[in-house]
Structure 1
Amino acid sequence: MTPEARRAQLVSAALDLYGARSPEEVAVEDVTRAADVSRALFYRYFSGMEELHVAALGSVAEELIDRVALPTDGPLDGQLADALDVFLDVVGRHSRAYIALLRSGSVVSTGETDAMVDGVRDHIVDLLCVRGGVPDPTPLQLMTLRGWVALVEGSVLVWLEAGRVPAHAELRDWLVEQLFAMLGVTVARDPDAQFSTTPSALGTSR
């Protein structure tokens, strides 16, 4: 097995373990047992659990950035719903890792993990700016988009911790409607804050 494949194996083992317990509850022995490797081999790739946590959480952030997209054509509401489906699928599969990423008080939270979260946020805001035809957003537009991303994060945390209620589709559609409602308020206050597809022309398509 190549060094890259072995490292990926250890990261995958950690993520699998996060499916049953919080990252801070996972120890080196748990990972080596799950990956069927020795402690000595583990320490050839990671200095300890903190470094592995960062790598594992980073892989979740990278998956979000790689998979969440908004094409430049077609109805924005449908595209946004599709993007949220992907987002909810990824965080649903890695729920404890995602919660650890967002919880600044978590013992696995570091400057690196905070930067990962910021990277995901910036990616989503950039996608919305490009899709909305606003490469240079006004202050109110930027507040609106960043505020919506914060709403998504907070809502998804509650959703994960409350047993995924409401249903996936209901949460997705509610989040889509929230963005359009927020954009509508922003446009009413700032006529220069138009997106290429205005909220009034959109309705949730699902």
Structure 2
Amino acid sequence: MVHPCAVLGFLAAVLPLVATPGASLALLVQHVTDNGRRQALPVILGTATGLYVHAALAVAGLSALVMHSGRAFTTVKVVGAVYLVGLGLWTWRSASAPARAPARRRLSARPDSVYVQALLANVLNPKAASIYLTLAPQFIDADAAFGSQVLALATAHALLMTLWLLAWTGLVRRASHVLRKPRFKRLAARATAVMLLALGVRTVAT
């Protein structure tokens, strides 16, 4: 197992990345604002699952192949960017849709749909993969089992991300009297759309 001090060091290293607004936070704010705090759970589960996917790929060496192959890495970046841009455009369109279309809004609030959105937003982010290829190895003991150490770091990372998203859920929930106003919902959804579009463009540009 990885040493506790190594876990703490890893958490300190990823904390700035966790605190940086990204697709997971954007989805959390949007869905909690629209449908209540229960929608935070599928976002958190999807994000955590994505972290474990990256950790598993790192152990299997697949992520290393992508990171060291320019063409494969570019492909992942483009696919992730297209997904984020598409999700951003869909979110903007949903915010602009008339209130007489409740069926579409109910469909968008399904937990499994929200989970998949959060999962794909994380899995298709090559920068998340790079954490387990460049950062995590700095905290791993070469003489111990590699897989179990990566799993421990991924679990710590997932717990930190969960706490961060739960904190935001509480903030959004406290402001629910403002957030539930139709005008604010439209503004929040459009802000989420802009953030997702910006993330998609940044993914390709960097």
Structure-2-length-normalised TM-score: 0.30
Compare CA radii of gyration and give the structure with the larger one. 1
Structure-1-length-normalised TM-score: 0.30
Structure that is richer in helix per residue: 2
Greater RCO (CA < 8 Å, at least 6 residues apart): 2
